[in-house]
Amino acid sequence: MIELKNVSKKYGETIAVNQVSFEVKEKENLVLLGTSGCGKTTTLKMINRLINPDEGEIILNGQNIINQNTEILRKGIGYVMQNIGLFPHYTVEENIAIVPKLLKWDKKKIQDRVYELTEKLHLPTNSLKLFPNELSGGQQQRVGLARALVSDPAVLLMDEPFGALDNVTRTSIRKEFKDLEELKRKTMVMVTHDVEEAFELADRICLMDKGNIMQIGTPKELLFNPANDFAKTFLDGQRLALEFKIVTIEDIWEMLPNAMHTTKSLSANVSVWDAMEKLRSTQATELQFSNKTQQYKSASFDELIKAFNQYKNFTKHE
């Protein structure tokens, strides 16, 4: 769907992006992860030509973007940014309707779509007539997302979409975001410096440093098979928590004791972390799980930890 081939960008003597190549498949969410100044935002902005690359090619839907009309290209790509960039002189409704108006949709269609999105994004309907500065930060970010999604573009680019929010709001919006049907059909490239966020949302992560790609792979690959010292040390601070969150019950299925069929069982898709949270919050001694093939397992806290450790040793020696 999106392919970058040896893309480079220089600012004077500084190389912002150096020979970057990757591919994003349809409906995949690729997260560009790195510290500030690593070139992740520059890479993202080259995809909708907010920045033009000095070298290399960017192919979107099999077409080199350099050969497309910039304005038409951009109307087909949703863009969400940290500073949101809502128009302060437009109401919420007008802000969301910008792209459809540019595309000359008829009034009724625009209005229906705006209402549909307001509902999906849990925006209060009375907020449509308000101006952006009358909304909370979280609501503004939802409007920003609605604006990007309104014309249902196949591709969505997101530059630190939750960066401007406080921690509590960020976590809750991220959860909603993950569950949003509308987003599951999108091919997404997202930029973040937040490791936890990257691991939670990414299908694959592209770890960058000083304009170079250090490693590109699934969260599991980054955790258990770091390609180099940089990739290893980058995650070190949060490694344990990330591992618990990334590994699911499904992954450690073989290492768990069998159980009888029970009605009260959790899906095997949950992470080890979520399972332990559940045990702690319900004060239960054991949890039951069921997988897709209708098999049942149960585990206590200790059994979970034991199975997890076995899994880790196994993947490392793989």
Partner 1 sequence: MNEQQTLWQFMSMESDKLLSQTVQHIGLTFISLLFAIAIGLPLGILIARRRKLSGIILGVAGVLQTVPSIALLGFMIPILGIGAKPAIVALLIYALLPIIRNTYTGIIGIDKHIIEAAKAMGMSKSQILFKVEIPLAMPVLLAGIRTATVINVGVATLASYIAAGGLGEFIFGGISLNNTNMILAGAIPAALLAILLDGLLALTQKLDFKKLKKVLIFSSVFLIFLTAFYVLPSAYGSGLKAGFTPEFMGRQDGDLGLKSAYGLKIKTVVISDAVMYKAAFSKELDVISGYSTDGRLKAFGLKILKDDKGIFPPYYAAPIVNQASLSKFPELEDVLNLLAGRITDSVMTDLNYRTDYLHQTPEKVARDFLVKVGLYKSPKGGAGETIKIGSKIFGEQYILAEIYSMLIKGNTNYQVETKTGLGGTKICFDALVNNQIDFYPEYTGTGLLAILKPDNKIVSQISHNKDETYRYVSDEFSKKYKIKWLKPIGFNNSYALMMRQKQSSEIDVNTITDLKNYLDKN
Chain positions contacting partner 1, by CB under 8 A: 48, 50, 70-77, 79, 81, 83-89, 98-99, 102, 147, 157
Q: Which CB atom, from 89 or from 264, has the smaller least distance to partner 1?
A: 89
Task: Using the minimum distance from each CB to partner 1, give the nearer residue, 159 or 209.
Answer: 159
How many residues does this entry show for the chain? 318
| CA distances for 151 relative to 68, 128, 140, 290, angstroms | 19, 18, 18, 39
CA dist 226 and 68 (Å) reads 38
- Cβ proximity of 97 and 87 under 8 Å: no
Question: Residue 148 or residue 242: which is nearer to partner 1 going by CB?
Answer: 148
What tokens does 105 get? 């949709």
Tokens describing residue 92 = 């919420």
Minimum CB distance to partner 1 smaller for 147 or for 204: 147
What's the token pair of residue 3?
Answer: 């392919």
- Shortest distance, position 143 Cβ to partner 1, whole Å: 11
Give the whole-angstrom CA distance, residue 106 versus residue 126.
Answer: 22
CB of 144 to partner 1, least distance (A): 8
Nearer to partner 1, 86 or 173 (CB): 86
Task: Provide the token pair at 230.
Answer: 């940089």
The rounded distance, in Å, linking the Cα atoms of 131 and 90 is 6
Cβ-proximal residues to 239 (8 Å cutoff; 6+ apart), any chain? 223
Strand pairing category for 287-290 and 266-267 = parallel
Q: How far is the CB of 254 from partner 1 (least distance, A)?
A: 47
Using the minimum distance from each CB to partner 1, give the nearer residue, 13 or 71: 71
CB of 56 to partner 1, least distance (A): 21
3-class secondary structure, 152? coil
Residue 209 CB, shortest distance to partner 1, in Å, is: 25
Of 102 and 240, nearer to partner 1 (C-beta) is 102
Q: How far is the CB of 119 from partner 1 (least distance, A)?
A: 22
Estimate to the nearest angstrom the gap between the alpha carbon of 257 and the chain centroid. 34
* Closest distance to partner 1 from the beta carbon of 145 (Å): 12
Structure token digits, residue 90: 């437009």
